[in-house]
Amino acid sequence: MLMAFGLRFTWFEPLLTLFLFLAVVKKGNAGITSSFVRSQWQSFDIPLDNKVFAIPNGYNAPQQVKGMVMMINEALSVHITQGDYDGKAVIISWVTPDEPGLSKVQYGTSENKYEFSADGTVTNYTFYNYKSGYIHHCLVDGLEYDTKYYYKIGVGGSSREFWFQTPPKIDPDSPFTFGIIGDLGQTYNSLSTLEHYMQSGGQTVLFVGDLSYADRYQYNDVGIRWDSWGRFIERSAAYQPWIWSAGNHEIEYMPDVGEVLPFKSYLHRFSTPYLASGSNNPLWYSS
Ligand SMILES: *[C@@H]1O[C@H](CO)[C@@H](O)[C@H](O)[C@H]1NC(C)=O
Ligand SMILES: [Fe+2]
């Protein structure tokens, strides 16, 4: 259920409501929203073998085959979020499936030239019998405003490169376009929402809860659907901050499979700069 802004969607909540609108904060243009309304018809989860869950952009590396000499341990499900209160830092997160590897991000302001590096932390968790990959979170701070940064994760043949743009200096007249997305899930409607958002030119997503809807699944499929959702949003979330808050679908209180720690998957996978923002709760960034 989406509770932000006092909106209630209980009537069509079972249809995996997702909505999106764009807020364009520009001189003389504040408050203009997109007219996009997603289909109200029920849509189903995209099967796991669909290419939307594959690693986007030029992923040609062979799947890992036992006994192969080469270790394929690419960073998957890469996403970034704002890393401080001011917009001069990001937290970069990713998953390496087979071994921890380095929790290092190399970055700089020109492509293929990474002058700086930052070290992060790695965590992992289980959910029922599912074992997560190694989940990395790396704070990259001391950035300049309004600057494009290129970053690289991993080494050698399995490294991957991305970029992001920092926001302009804080000012009432700074133009900035952000999207608000909630209840996204991983259905065919989710895909049309995500594609629409990406075409709209939004620069940062405020995510108002209910991310993957992995809690519709049971047993090991919960973790598997968190992994697929991470790969699903990477096409946007690796290139611009998605600022997180949790919804009821992140609770995943499932005593029947021995999982009683609320927000376990969410807290391991998504970080927020909650301390920098003065929040006392890692579930959300506050301002
Ligand atoms: C995390 O990974 C380590 C190293 O592979 C492993 O020994 C440990 O059991 C894992 N922890 C959990 C909670 O899965
Ligand atoms: Fe919801």
Please tell me which residue, 203 or 35, carries the higher pLDDT value.
203
The answer to whether 130 touches 220, Cβ cutoff 8 Å, is: yes
Is 63 part of any domain?
Answer: no
Question: Is residue 220 scored above 80 in pLDDT?
Answer: yes
Is 60 part of any domain?
Answer: no
Is 276 part of any domain?
Answer: no
**What integer pLDDT is reported at residue 146 of this predicted model?**
97
Q: What is the mean pLDDT of residues 136-145?
A: 97
Q: What is the mean pLDDT of residues 6-31?
A: 40
Tell me the pLDDT band of 277, cut-offs 50, 70 and 90. confident
Q: What is the pLDDT of residues 174-184, one digit of tens each?
A: 999 999 999 99
> In angstroms, rounded to a whole number, what is the distance separating the alpha carbons of residues 80 and 58?
20
The answer to whether 95 touches 77, Cβ cutoff 8 Å, is: yes
Listing from the earlier edge strand, what are the strands of the sheet with 204-207? Answer: 19-25, 176-182, 204-207, 242-243
Is 148 part of any domain?
Answer: yes
Q: What is the pLDDT of residues 94-127, one digit of tens each?
A: 999 888 989 999 999 999 899 999 999 999 999 9
Question: Is residue 262 scored above 80 in pLDDT?
Answer: yes
Furthest CA-CA distance within the chain: 62
Question: Is residue 9 scored above 70 in pLDDT?
Answer: no
Rg, the chain, Cα only: 19
Name the residue with tokens 């259920």: 1
Residue 41's domain comprises: 12-55+72-269
| Residues with Cβ within 8 Å of residue 191, at least 6 apart in sequence | 46, 52, 232
| Residues with Cβ within 8 Å of residue 254, at least 6 apart in sequence | 128, 215, 218, 222, 260
Q: What is the mean pLDDT of residues 37-57?
A: 83
Is 245 part of any domain?
Answer: yes
Q: What is the mean pLDDT of residues 152-159?
A: 84
Is the beta carbon of 36 within 6 A of some atom in ligand 1? no
Residue in 122, 124, 135, 265 to alter for ligand 1 test, most ligand atoms within 8 A of Cβ: 124
Is 286 part of any domain?
Answer: no
Tell me the pLDDT band of 18, cut-offs 50, 70 and 90. very low
**What integer pLDDT is reported at residue 140 of this predicted model?**
98
Residue (of 237, 204, 196) closest to 95 by Cα position? 237
Q: What is the 124 CA–ligand 1 centroid distance (Å)?
A: 6
Cα 273 to the center of its chain, rounded Å: 14
**What integer pLDDT is reported at residue 5 of this predicted model?**
34
Is 187 part of any domain?
Answer: yes
**What integer pLDDT is reported at residue 56 of this predicted model?**
52
Residue 178's CATH number: 2.60.40.380
Number of structural domains (the chain) is 1
**What integer pLDDT is reported at residue 39 of this predicted model?**
79
Atom of ligand 1 nearest to the CA of 99: 5
Tell me the pLDDT band of 47, cut-offs 50, 70 and 90. very high
| Residues with Cβ within 8 Å of residue 236, at least 6 apart in sequence | 194, 197, 198, 205, 242
Protein residue closest via CA to atom 6 of ligand 1 = 124
Nearest-10 crossing angle of helices 188-199, 221-237: 20
Check residue 127 and report its DSSP letter.
E
> In angstroms, rounded to a whole number, what is the distance separating the alpha carbons of residues 220 and 225?
9
**What integer pLDDT is reported at residue 73 of this predicted model?**
76
Q: What does pTM read for this prediction?
A: 0.86
Instruction: Say whether 113 sits in a helix, a strand or coil.
Output: strand
Q: What is the mean pLDDT of residues 23-31?
A: 48
Protein residue closest via CA to atom 14 of ligand 1 = 125
Is 275 part of any domain?
Answer: no
Is the beta carbon of 129 within 6 A of some atom in ligand 1? no
